[in-house]
């Protein structure tokens, strides 16, 4: 079977040089291996995603000389597929609702830190692990809170989930931030009881990405090193849901001249802004080390 690659941006801002690098790398790897290249629009966050940004994604990628298969999968049109996956996890007894607001969580973390004089554990992105006790709430109390209309987050019972599937690893064809490559051991427990869905959004990045990669037959996930540690969660969800395991290739992030990560609000590295300044598509490819679509691999 020919390999399947995908570029999966979120339309919550304009693409920058880092996105161009990731997209072109996927495109070139697909071309070099006779595989296919898919574009997926990750627009589950209705509050931040906008049609204007989605249209700009199509325009900017076409300007760079890329083409992809149509129709494009737009995650907002497939919420039912993610709910079905969530229900399967719930049926395994691995999902529970928690009712604390962000401010309450921050306060619980501060209390713990004050009581123990130790920093509360953080996930690989630096966010504190869930400090609450919603997992052990009595069923009647849970039902009362759900019926009250209070906002809630549905969390994965990480300890039970890890116990169910045992040790996991993945094949890393690229490199992690500490040079990890080859067979990498997954450490999903580093994320604690993470959020799988919220009352107003019936899915999360982690859940929809594994459902879609499986559904679209993606064989090699090529993306930035900032998502390297998230792969541990993705492997766990794949194992729980019986989904196939793609290979992963995490690439280095393009940084600005000061060595900072690029952001969608920085005009100096935005593709639209560069185009408006008269920069040619070939110059963009040159700047990020990819000669041109159909040129050489970086
Ligand atoms: N939608 C994610 C982002 O824009 C990327 C998802 C992925 O490649 O797994 O950061």
pLDDT by residue for the chain (298 residues), tens digit each? Answer: 899 999 999 999 999 999 999 999 999 999 999 999 999 999 999 999 999 999 999 999 999 999 999 999 999 999 999 999 999 999 999 999 999 999 999 999 999 999 999 999 999 999 999 999 999 999 999 999 999 999 999 999 999 999 999 999 999 999 999 999 999 999 999 999 999 999 999 999 999 999 999 999 999 999 999 999 999 999 999 999 999 999 999 999 988 878 888 877 776 789 999 999 999 999 998 888 876 555 544 4
- Indicate which atom in ligand 1 lies nearest the CA of residue 7: 8
Indicate the top mutation candidate among 15, 23, 41, 42 to test ligand 1's pocket, ranked by most ligand atoms within 8 A of CB: 42
Tell me, in angstroms, the distance from the centre of ligand 1 to residue 176's CA: 16
Tell me which residue of 180, 184, 150, 153 sits closest to 167, measured CA to CA.
Answer: 184
Residue with CA at minimum distance from ligand 1 atom 6: 8
CB 217 within 8 A of CB 141: no
According to the model, what pLDDT value does residue 298 have? 41
Tell me, in angstroms, the distance from the centre of ligand 1 to residue 10's CA: 7
Tell me, in angstroms, the distance from the centre of ligand 1 to residue 224's CA: 8
Tell me, in angstroms, the distance from the centre of ligand 1 to residue 113's CA: 32
According to the model, what pLDDT value does residue 291 have? 60
- Indicate which atom in ligand 1 lies nearest the CA of residue 213: 9
Indicate the top mutation candidate among 72, 209, 232, 238 to test ligand 1's pocket, ranked by most ligand atoms within 8 A of CB: 209
Tell me, in angstroms, the distance from the centre of ligand 1 to residue 114's CA: 36
């Amino acid at each position: 079977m020919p390999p399947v690659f995908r570029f999966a941006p979120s339309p919550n801002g304009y693409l920058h040089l880092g996105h161009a690098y990731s997209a072109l790398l996927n495109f070139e790897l697909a071309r070099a291996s006779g595989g296919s290249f898919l574009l997926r629009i990750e627009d589950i966050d209705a509050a931040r995603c906008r049609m204007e940004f989605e249209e700009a994604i199509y325009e900017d990628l076409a300007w760079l000389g890329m083409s992809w298969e149509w129709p494009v999968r737009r995650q907002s049109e497939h919420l039912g597929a993610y709910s079905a996956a969530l229900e399967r996890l719930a049926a395994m007894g691995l999902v529970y609702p928690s009712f604390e607001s962000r401010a309450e969580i921050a306060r619980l973390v501060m209390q713990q830190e004050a009581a123990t004089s130790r920093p509360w554990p953080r996930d690989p992105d630096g966010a504190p692990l869930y400090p609450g006790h919603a997992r052990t709430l009595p069923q009647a109390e849970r039902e009362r809170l759900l019926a009250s209309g209070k906002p809630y987050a549905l969390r994965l019972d990480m300890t039970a989930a890890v116990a169910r599937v045992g040790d996991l690893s993945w094949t890393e064809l690229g490199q992690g931030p500490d040079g990890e490559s080859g067979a990498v051991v997954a450490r999903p427990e580093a994320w604690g009881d993470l959020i799988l869905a919220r009352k107003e959004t019936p899915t999360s990045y982690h859940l929809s990405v594994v459902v879609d990669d499986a559904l679209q037959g993606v064989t090699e996930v090529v993306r930035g090193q900032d998502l390297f540690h998230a792969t541990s969660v993705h492997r766990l969800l794949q194992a729980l849901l019986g989904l196939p395991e793609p290979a992963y290739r995490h690439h280095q992030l393009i940084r600005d001249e000061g060595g900072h990560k690029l952001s969608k609000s920085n005009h100096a590295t935005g593709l639209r802004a560069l185009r408006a300044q008269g920069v040619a598509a070939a110059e963009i490819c040159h700047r990020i080390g990819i000669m041109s679509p159909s040129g050489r691999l970086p």
